[in-house]
Protein backbone atom coordinates (compact mmCIF):
# COMPACT_ATOMS: atom_id res chain seq x y z
CA UNK A 1 0.00 0.00 0.00
CA UNK A 2 1.06 3.91 -2.24
CA UNK A 3 0.02 3.50 0.16
CA UNK A 4 1.06 3.87 -3.82
CA UNK A 5 1.64 3.24 -0.69
CA UNK A 6 1.11 4.58 -2.10
CA UNK A 7 -0.72 8.37 -4.61
CA UNK A 8 -3.61 10.42 -5.93
CA UNK A 9 -5.66 8.03 -8.03
CA UNK A 10 -8.65 10.07 -9.17
CA UNK A 11 -10.57 7.86 -11.58
CA UNK A 12 -13.72 9.95 -11.46
CA UNK A 13 -13.97 13.60 -12.34
CA UNK A 14 -16.25 14.24 -9.37
CA UNK A 15 -13.64 13.45 -6.77
CA UNK A 16 -11.18 16.02 -8.10
CA UNK A 17 -13.56 18.81 -7.14
CA UNK A 18 -14.04 17.39 -3.65
CA UNK A 19 -10.40 17.00 -2.66
CA UNK A 20 -7.88 19.73 -1.82
CA UNK A 21 -5.04 18.30 -3.90
CA UNK A 22 -2.43 20.72 -2.59
CA UNK A 23 -3.19 19.82 1.05
CA UNK A 24 -3.37 16.14 0.07
CA UNK A 25 0.11 16.30 -1.46
CA UNK A 26 1.53 17.99 1.62
CA UNK A 27 -0.03 15.37 3.90
CA UNK A 28 1.62 12.70 1.75
CA UNK A 29 4.97 14.43 1.98
CA UNK A 30 4.84 15.27 5.68
CA UNK A 31 2.96 12.28 7.12
CA UNK A 32 2.65 9.25 4.87
CA UNK A 33 5.65 9.03 2.58
CA UNK A 34 8.10 8.30 5.41
CA UNK A 35 6.29 5.04 6.14
CA UNK A 36 8.05 3.56 3.09
CA UNK A 37 11.58 4.55 4.13
CA UNK A 38 12.44 0.96 5.20
CA UNK A 39 11.44 -0.21 1.71
CA UNK A 40 13.63 2.38 0.01
CA UNK A 41 16.57 1.56 2.26
CA UNK A 42 16.27 -2.19 1.74
CA UNK A 43 16.15 -1.86 -2.03
CA UNK A 44 19.04 0.60 -2.23
CA UNK A 45 21.16 -1.64 -0.06
CA UNK A 46 20.37 -4.72 -2.12
CA UNK A 47 21.09 -3.16 -5.52
CA UNK A 48 24.06 -1.24 -4.11
CA UNK A 49 23.01 2.30 -4.99
CA UNK A 50 26.03 4.60 -4.95
CA UNK A 51 28.05 7.19 -6.89
CA UNK A 52 27.97 5.09 -10.07
CA UNK A 53 24.17 4.77 -10.11
CA UNK A 54 22.01 6.60 -12.62
CA UNK A 55 18.49 6.22 -11.25
CA UNK A 56 15.18 6.82 -12.98
CA UNK A 57 12.36 7.03 -10.44
CA UNK A 58 8.89 6.46 -11.90
CA UNK A 59 6.03 8.08 -10.02
CA UNK A 60 8.56 9.92 -7.89
CA UNK A 61 5.91 11.84 -5.95
CA UNK A 62 7.36 14.33 -3.49
CA UNK A 63 10.85 12.95 -3.93
CA UNK A 64 11.85 11.30 -0.66
CA UNK A 65 13.15 8.14 -2.36
CA UNK A 66 15.15 10.27 -4.79
CA UNK A 67 16.58 12.28 -1.91
CA UNK A 68 17.75 9.10 -0.20
CA UNK A 69 19.38 7.81 -3.38
CA UNK A 70 21.09 11.14 -3.99
CA UNK A 71 22.46 11.08 -0.45
CA UNK A 72 24.26 7.88 -1.48
CA UNK A 73 25.82 9.70 -4.40
CA UNK A 74 23.45 8.54 -7.16
CA UNK A 75 22.50 10.76 -10.08
CA UNK A 76 18.69 10.84 -9.91
CA UNK A 77 15.89 11.66 -12.33
CA UNK A 78 12.29 11.62 -11.20
CA UNK A 79 9.19 11.38 -13.39
CA UNK A 80 5.71 12.22 -12.10
CA UNK A 81 2.48 12.51 -14.09
CA UNK A 82 -0.35 11.97 -11.60
CA UNK A 83 0.32 14.73 -9.06
CA UNK A 84 1.87 18.07 -10.06
CA UNK A 85 1.49 19.17 -6.44
CA UNK A 86 3.70 16.34 -5.23
CA UNK A 87 6.24 17.18 -7.92
CA UNK A 88 6.33 20.77 -6.70
CA UNK A 89 7.26 19.51 -3.25
CA UNK A 90 9.92 17.26 -4.77
CA UNK A 91 11.46 20.27 -6.49
CA UNK A 92 11.63 22.05 -3.14
CA UNK A 93 13.48 19.08 -1.67
CA UNK A 94 15.87 18.62 -4.55
CA UNK A 95 16.73 22.13 -5.74
CA UNK A 96 20.46 22.89 -5.94
CA UNK A 97 20.11 25.48 -3.18
CA UNK A 98 19.07 22.71 -0.79
CA UNK A 99 22.27 20.72 -1.26
CA UNK A 100 25.65 21.04 0.36
CA UNK A 101 27.48 18.88 -2.22
CA UNK A 102 27.90 19.32 -5.98
CA UNK A 103 26.95 15.69 -6.74
CA UNK A 104 23.45 16.13 -5.38
CA UNK A 105 22.71 19.28 -7.32
CA UNK A 106 22.19 17.44 -10.61
CA UNK A 107 18.79 15.94 -9.79
CA UNK A 108 16.26 16.17 -12.64
CA UNK A 109 12.52 16.25 -12.11
CA UNK A 110 10.18 15.81 -15.05
CA UNK A 111 6.42 16.20 -15.23
CA UNK A 112 5.06 13.75 -17.77
CA UNK A 113 5.98 10.33 -19.09
CA UNK A 114 9.29 8.43 -18.96
CA UNK A 115 9.93 9.48 -22.55
CA UNK A 116 10.08 13.08 -21.39
CA UNK A 117 13.10 12.13 -19.25
CA UNK A 118 15.09 10.84 -22.22
CA UNK A 119 18.42 12.54 -22.83
CA UNK A 120 20.24 11.24 -25.91
CA UNK A 121 23.50 12.78 -24.72
CA UNK A 122 23.42 11.14 -21.27
CA UNK A 123 24.40 7.55 -20.43
CA UNK A 124 21.63 4.98 -20.02
CA UNK A 125 20.04 4.56 -16.61
CA UNK A 126 21.48 1.80 -14.46
CA UNK A 127 18.44 1.48 -12.19
CA UNK A 128 14.70 2.07 -12.60
CA UNK A 129 12.38 2.19 -9.59
CA UNK A 130 8.60 2.18 -9.34
CA UNK A 131 8.13 2.48 -5.59
CA UNK A 132 4.45 3.32 -5.52
CA UNK A 133 2.96 0.08 -4.15
CA UNK A 134 0.62 -1.64 -6.59
CA UNK A 135 -1.87 -4.39 -5.93
CA UNK A 136 -4.18 -2.35 -3.75
CA UNK A 137 -6.29 -0.60 -6.39
CA UNK A 138 -8.17 -2.56 -9.00
CA UNK A 139 -6.55 -1.75 -12.34
CA UNK A 140 -3.41 -0.08 -11.01
CA UNK A 141 -1.05 -2.65 -12.54
CA UNK A 142 -2.28 -1.92 -16.07
CA UNK A 143 -1.13 1.68 -15.89
CA UNK A 144 2.25 0.68 -14.49
CA UNK A 145 2.80 -1.79 -17.32
CA UNK A 146 2.59 0.97 -19.90
CA UNK A 147 4.92 3.19 -17.90
CA UNK A 148 7.50 0.43 -17.65
CA UNK A 149 7.32 -0.24 -21.38
CA UNK A 150 8.18 3.42 -21.98
CA UNK A 151 10.93 3.50 -19.34
CA UNK A 152 12.94 0.35 -20.01
CA UNK A 153 14.36 1.50 -23.38
CA UNK A 154 16.10 4.28 -21.42
CA UNK A 155 17.95 1.77 -19.22
CA UNK A 156 21.02 -0.25 -20.04
CA UNK A 157 20.73 -3.96 -20.77
CA UNK A 158 20.54 -6.00 -17.58
CA UNK A 159 19.69 -2.98 -15.42
CA UNK A 160 17.48 -3.76 -12.42
CA UNK A 161 13.91 -2.51 -12.42
CA UNK A 162 12.35 -2.47 -8.96
CA UNK A 163 8.59 -2.81 -8.43
CA UNK A 164 6.86 -2.54 -5.05
CA UNK A 165 3.58 -3.77 -3.66
CA UNK A 166 1.68 -4.57 -0.50
CA UNK A 167 2.49 -7.82 1.23
CA UNK A 168 -0.01 -10.55 2.17
CA UNK A 169 -3.17 -9.01 3.67
CA UNK A 170 -2.79 -11.15 6.79
CA UNK A 171 0.63 -9.55 7.38
CA UNK A 172 -0.67 -5.99 7.01
CA UNK A 173 -2.60 -4.52 9.93
CA UNK A 174 -3.71 -1.64 7.71
CA UNK A 175 -5.78 -4.09 5.65
CA UNK A 176 -8.67 -3.87 8.11
CA UNK A 177 -8.69 -0.08 7.74
CA UNK A 178 -8.44 -0.14 3.96
CA UNK A 179 -11.52 -2.34 3.78
CA UNK A 180 -13.48 0.81 4.58
CA UNK A 181 -12.61 2.02 1.09
CA UNK A 182 -14.04 -1.12 -0.49
CA UNK A 183 -17.20 -1.05 1.59
CA UNK A 184 -18.02 2.54 0.72
CA UNK A 185 -16.93 2.42 -2.93
CA UNK A 186 -18.63 -0.85 -3.91
CA UNK A 187 -21.68 0.84 -5.49
CA UNK A 188 -19.39 2.38 -8.12
CA UNK A 189 -17.68 -0.90 -9.01
CA UNK A 190 -14.86 1.27 -10.33
CA UNK A 191 -11.27 0.41 -11.22
CA UNK A 192 -10.19 2.86 -8.52
CA UNK A 193 -11.51 0.93 -5.53
CA UNK A 194 -9.25 -0.87 -3.07
CA UNK A 195 -8.73 -4.63 -3.21
CA UNK A 196 -6.43 -7.00 -1.27
CA UNK A 197 -3.00 -7.55 -2.79
CA UNK A 198 -2.47 -10.79 -4.71
CA UNK A 199 0.63 -12.95 -4.42
CA UNK A 200 1.81 -12.57 -8.03
CA UNK A 201 0.83 -8.93 -8.72
CA UNK A 202 4.43 -7.78 -9.19
CA UNK A 203 5.55 -10.76 -11.23
CA UNK A 204 2.63 -10.43 -13.63
CA UNK A 205 3.37 -6.75 -14.27
CA UNK A 206 7.06 -7.49 -14.88
CA UNK A 207 6.32 -10.28 -17.32
CA UNK A 208 3.81 -8.20 -19.27
CA UNK A 209 6.45 -5.48 -19.58
CA UNK A 210 8.95 -7.99 -20.97
CA UNK A 211 11.17 -7.91 -17.88
CA UNK A 212 12.93 -10.91 -16.36
CA UNK A 213 12.22 -11.42 -12.62
CA UNK A 214 15.48 -11.78 -10.71
CA UNK A 215 14.78 -11.84 -6.99
CA UNK A 216 12.40 -10.36 -4.46
CA UNK A 217 12.14 -9.47 -0.82
CA UNK A 218 9.84 -8.43 1.98
CA UNK A 219 10.27 -5.42 4.23
CA UNK A 220 8.50 -4.42 7.43
CA UNK A 221 6.98 -0.97 6.96
CA UNK A 222 4.89 -0.15 10.03
CA UNK A 223 2.52 2.78 9.79
CA UNK A 224 2.91 4.97 12.87
CA UNK A 225 1.08 8.24 13.53
CA UNK A 226 1.05 10.81 16.33
CA UNK A 227 -2.73 10.55 16.67
CA UNK A 228 -5.89 9.46 14.87
CA UNK A 229 -6.22 12.76 13.02
CA UNK A 230 -2.73 12.38 11.55
CA UNK A 231 -3.53 8.78 10.61
CA UNK A 232 -6.69 9.84 8.78
CA UNK A 233 -4.86 12.58 6.89
CA UNK A 234 -1.97 10.29 6.02
CA UNK A 235 -4.15 7.47 4.75
CA UNK A 236 -6.38 9.80 2.74
CA UNK A 237 -3.25 11.20 1.08
CA UNK A 238 -2.59 7.81 -0.54
CA UNK A 239 -5.62 8.22 -2.79
CA UNK A 240 -6.91 4.79 -1.80
CA UNK A 241 -10.12 6.30 -0.44
CA UNK A 242 -10.92 8.62 -3.35
CA UNK A 243 -13.47 6.27 -4.91
CA UNK A 244 -15.16 5.98 -1.51
CA UNK A 245 -15.29 9.77 -1.16
CA UNK A 246 -16.81 10.00 -4.60
CA UNK A 247 -19.42 7.37 -3.77
CA UNK A 248 -20.41 8.92 -0.43
CA UNK A 249 -18.80 12.10 0.90
CA UNK A 250 -15.74 13.26 2.83
CA UNK A 251 -17.54 13.36 6.16
CA UNK A 252 -18.74 9.76 5.88
CA UNK A 253 -15.31 8.48 4.89
CA UNK A 254 -13.60 10.41 7.70
CA UNK A 255 -16.07 9.01 10.22
CA UNK A 256 -15.72 5.38 9.20
CA UNK A 257 -11.96 5.64 8.78
CA UNK A 258 -11.65 7.08 12.29
CA UNK A 259 -13.73 4.23 13.71
CA UNK A 260 -11.61 1.63 11.88
CA UNK A 261 -8.43 3.13 13.35
CA UNK A 262 -9.56 2.88 16.99
CA UNK A 263 -8.37 -0.74 17.48
CA UNK A 264 -4.89 0.38 16.43
CA UNK A 265 -4.72 3.34 18.81
CA UNK A 266 -2.44 2.94 21.81
CA UNK A 267 -2.87 4.34 25.30
CA UNK A 268 -0.74 7.39 24.57
CA UNK A 269 -2.98 8.28 21.60
CA UNK A 270 -0.57 7.19 18.90
CA UNK A 271 -1.65 4.84 16.11
CA UNK A 272 0.49 1.84 15.17
CA UNK A 273 -0.12 -0.68 12.39
CA UNK A 274 2.56 -3.24 11.43
CA UNK A 275 2.71 -3.96 7.70
CA UNK A 276 4.85 -5.91 5.26
CA UNK A 277 5.64 -4.72 1.74
CA UNK A 278 7.12 -6.69 -1.15
CA UNK A 279 9.59 -5.65 -3.79
CA UNK A 280 10.54 -7.41 -7.01
CA UNK A 281 13.80 -6.95 -8.87
CA UNK A 282 13.45 -7.56 -12.61
CA UNK A 283 16.03 -7.12 -15.35
CA UNK A 284 15.92 -5.23 -18.62
CA UNK A 285 16.42 -7.78 -21.42
Q: Measure the CA–CA gap between 267 and 164, rounded to whole angstroms.
A: 33
Which domains does the chain show, CATH number per domain?
13-172+193-223+274-283 (3.40.50.150)
Core vs surface per residue 169-187: b (16+ CB within 10 A) or e: bebbbbbebbbbbbebbee
What's the whole-number mean pLDDT along residues 147-174? 94
The pLDDT > 70 percentage for the chain reads 83
Strand order in the sheet with 54-58: 108-111, 75-80, 54-58, 127-134, 160-166, 276-283, 212-220
Q: Measure the CA–CA gap between 144 and 140, rounded to whole angstroms.
A: 7
3-state secondary structure of 221: coil
Please name which of 198, 223, 177 lies closest in space to residue 278, comparing C-alpha atoms: 198
- Which residues pair with residue 57 across a beta bridge? 78, 129
186 or 15: which carries more pLDDT confidence? 186
Please name which of 120, 175, 183, 176 lies closest in space to residue 153, comparing C-alpha atoms: 120
Quote the strand ranges of the chain, DSSP E.
Answer: 54-58, 75-80, 108-111, 127-134, 160-166, 212-220, 223-225, 271-273, 276-283
90-139, pLDDT tens digit by residue?
A: 999 997 665 554 445 578 999 999 989 888 888 999 999 999 998 666 66
Contact 228, 260 (CB under 8 A): no
What's the whole-number mean pLDDT along residues 32-45? 98
Stated length of the chain = 285
217-247, pLDDT tens digit by residue?
A: 999 999 999 999 999 999 999 988 988 898 8
Chain-centre distance for alpha carbon 59: 7
66-92, pLDDT tens digit by residue?
A: 999 999 999 999 999 889 999 999 999
Amino acid sequence: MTPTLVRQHLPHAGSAARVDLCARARDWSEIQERMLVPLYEAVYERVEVGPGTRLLGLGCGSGLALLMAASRGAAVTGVESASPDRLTLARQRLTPEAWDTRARAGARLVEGSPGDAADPEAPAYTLVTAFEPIGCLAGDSEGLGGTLAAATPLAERGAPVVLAGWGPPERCATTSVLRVATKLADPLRSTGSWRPALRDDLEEVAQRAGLRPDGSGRVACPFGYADVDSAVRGLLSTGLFDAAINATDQVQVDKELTEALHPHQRRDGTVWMPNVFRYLIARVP
